[in-house]
Amino acid sequence: MRERLVLMRQANIVIFDPHRAGIAGDVSQMITSEMPHRVTIVKSDPSPDVRIKPDADLIFVVLDSCKNPGHKKQFTQFLSKYQFTPIVAILNCNEVCPDCPVLRQFVWSFVTTPFTKRAILLHVQKFLPPDKIDLYDKIYVTMKTQTGFQLLKGNSPVILEVKAKILRIAPYDVTVLLQGETGTGKELCAKMIHYLSNRSQKAFVPVNCGALPSELIENELFGHKKGAYTNASTSEEGLICAADGGTLFLDEIEAIPEATQVKLLRFLEDKKYKPLGDSSYRTANVRILSAAKENLQELINQNNFREDLYYRLNVVQISLPPLRVRNEDIPVLTDHFIKRYSVIYQKEIKGITPQALMKLMHHEWQGNVRELENVIQESVVMNLTGWIEAEDLDMKKLEKQDEDTYPSDSFKRSKEQVVHNFENTYLRSVMLVCRGNISQAARLAQKDRRAFCRLLKKHDINPANFRS
């Protein structure tokens, strides 16, 4: 099956597996490896008391027999509660007849064992509401091979909203302003917008305006004619010409001088520009994406940035959160970077220890995702044991430094918050190390499996998100 990019808006999928046959885990892994949806596995007897969240968008039910009358009655009672929710049965072809009355009455479709990943994904695509899944005919593997394109990583609510917004606006030829600190992934988001648009077969041209001398920015963007200035012995096309038909990404847009801002504004209005020294206008069909690490509204108030240009650039704004406010994404990012650099440097890295991951989770990350990537890259290069240990991580700050030195709450509340944060961080690190295997994670944590599951539920941690 072709790999495709999907709309990053989570649907709630429930897999009901009272037989505990392991099928639910396989189905969950098939879905979450390709799609960003939330999968909940229910493993209990199919009694009427078993309740599934009312906001479930799709339910898979594992059936291994229709012969037991009591079993059939219980399933009928259970399924009747969700007759308006799409229900897909997973059948043991040796034990369950597709003509079973239970199936005919309640089940919308079924797959039989042994089933394929393609069959499961096609059912997800078929029965989810249109706003929950929006497949683009973009072959991710091809894009990655040809362009080095990477998906934005993370499952936190803020980053999922960023992904959803990117995929909603990418097909439309509007300007987009990406706001965020250094290292938050602004250029990566710009690439996603480009490769998900109708311009994906044309050039993506990035330029860091802050890295260019202010007097050269205009020349870089618009080009020049022969003789336009001293040493201009030949005519040169600018980046706008190079991006014709495609996308021009202007990073650190705040560094553009005022004279160039005026010319850029003119280009945004009618797609016309004049190279330096040329008397005639040229036309280019270019989509402009821009990024700023400074607050442009403040620069406008200081008369350092044109307000009319700001509104032209800011038809859609995407704010990228710093890593420190979405540290629940650190395990996912860490795992991604370990795998990536293990391949690049041909190292056999098995993973990261819980202690090392805890250290990462408690770091401030002033350099955001880029700083985390650099730390993991160095750790992979220097590693000799196959496991990244806490002492392998070279970071300037080992622990968060609280801005407020004095406690602002009661002892009890402060303690509860510390314990809550510790549990959340520890559980995520253990689940990452154990690849979502609850039994293995419980043993590693030296906790009873049921108690460990209660902790996972308390912190809304889905084991399926940690399975590779």
Following CA atoms 309, 312, 315, 318 in sequence, which dihedral angle do they give, to the nearest 10 degrees?
Answer: -40
Least-confidence region, from 32-41, 132-141, 438-447: 132-141
State residue 137's pLDDT score.
33
Domain boundaries 326-466, corresponding CATH code = 1.10.8.60
State residue 265's pLDDT score.
94
Question: What is the residue extent of each domain of the chain?
Answer: 4-127, 141-321, 326-466
State residue 143's pLDDT score.
43
State residue 249's pLDDT score.
96
State residue 18's pLDDT score.
73
Following CA atoms 74, 438, 23, 85 in sequence, which dihedral angle do they give, to the nearest 10 degrees?
Answer: 50
Is the Cβ–Cβ distance between 330 and 364 less than 8 Å?
no
Sign of the CA dihedral with 449 first, then 450, 453, and 459 last: negative
* 346-396 pLDDT, tens digit each: 888 988 888 888 889 888 898 999 999 999 999 999 988 999 998 888 765
Residue 69 pLDDT greater than 60, yes or no: no
| DSSP state string for 44-72 | S---TT----TT-SEEEEEE--S--HHHH
The SS3 call for residue 5 is strand
Domain boundaries 4-127, corresponding CATH code = 3.40.50.2300
Residue 455 pLDDT greater than 60, yes or no: yes
Sign of the CA dihedral with 14 first, then 18, 20, and 21 last: negative
> pLDDT higher for 400 or 325?
325
Q: pLDDT band at 184, cuts 50/70/90?
A: very high
Residue 301 pLDDT greater than 90, yes or no: yes
Residue 64 pLDDT greater than 90, yes or no: no
State residue 246's pLDDT score.
94
> pLDDT higher for 188 or 147?
188
DSSP state of 440: H
Is the Cβ–Cβ distance between 333 and 465 less than 8 Å?
no
For residue 137 the two structure tokens come to: 């005919």
Strand (E) or helix (H) holding 332: helix 330-344
Helix axes 438-445, 449-458, angle to 10 degrees: 100
Task: Return the percentage of the chain with pLDDT > 70, whole number.
Answer: 76
Query: Which among 148, 275, 142 is positioned nearest to 219, based on CA atoms?
Result: 275
State residue 313's pLDDT score.
95
Least-confidence region, from 45-49, 178-182, 213-217, 423-427: 45-49
Residue 397 pLDDT greater than 60, yes or no: no
* 134-155 pLDDT, tens digit each: 433 333 443 444 444 456 788 7
Statement: 141-321 belongs to CATH 3.40.50.300: yes
> pLDDT higher for 253 or 332?
253
State residue 239's pLDDT score.
92
> pLDDT higher for 5 or 367?
367
pTM, two decimal places? 0.59
